[in-house]
Amino acid sequence: MKIEYSNKIPEINSFFALYESTGWNNSEGKTKEELYNAIEKSWYIISAFADNNLIGFGRVISDGYLHAFIVDLIILPEYKQQGIGTEILNRLVDQIKSAGINDIQLFCAKEKKEFYLKNNFEERSPDAPGMQYKN
């Protein structure tokens, strides 16, 4: 199976189907147009395709100079454990580093923590700066 990687924004329906595969939208309830508007505003994206079908995606939100935040790293369930997520993550990090940005952050679900630890990320110290808005 050949995987093709692109930094072009995927087609709206393909992205919505991929996003829906995560279950994240069960609580968010975003429309495909809202999700598409969000990814259009990304600083950098990587899409992964197999037979022209979107099977993976990741993006960076950044100011382009100081801070970069990796979000929405998604792989279709049937394509997991094949190195696609690692390849997308590496490409995102490489792009961030090539821009001279040293502050690279992300958040992940607890069950995904090991993936990021294996890929050169570390947990933030409990006394590290940072807050989250309480909904």
Q: Is residue 132 part of a domain?
A: no
Q: What's residue 131's pLDDT? A: 67
Looking at residue 77, which CATH number applies to its domain?
3.40.630.30
CA 42 – CA 59 distance, rounded (Å): 7
User: Residue 131 falls within a domain, yes or no?
Assistant: no
Mean pLDDT taken over the chain: 91
Query: Looking at per-residue confidence, does 110 or 53 come out higher?
Result: 53
pLDDT of residue 94 exceeding 90, the answer is: yes
Indicate whether 57 belongs to any domain.
yes
CB 96 within 8 A of CB 62: yes
Closest CA to 65 of 29, 104, 30: 104
**pLDDT tens sequence across 19-74:** 999 888 888 899 999 999 999 999 999 999 999 999 999 999 999 999 999 999 99
% of the chain at pLDDT higher than 90:
74
**Is 90 exceeded by the pLDDT of residue 86?**
yes
Q: Sorting pLDDT into bands at 50, 70 and 90, what band is 127?
A: confident
Structural domain range at position 60: 3-118
Give the model's pLDDT for residue 27.
83
Structurally, the chain folds into a number of domains equal to 1
Task: Please give the helix or strand (H or E) that residue 91 lies within, else none.
Answer: helix 84-98
- pLDDT tops 80 at residue 132: no
Residue 85 and residue 38: Cα distance in Å, rounded?
Answer: 20
DSSP summary character for residue 99 = T
E-strand ranges in the chain read 3-6, 44-50, 53-62, 67-75, 103-106
Q: What is the pTM of this model?
A: 0.90
Residue 125 lies in a domain: no
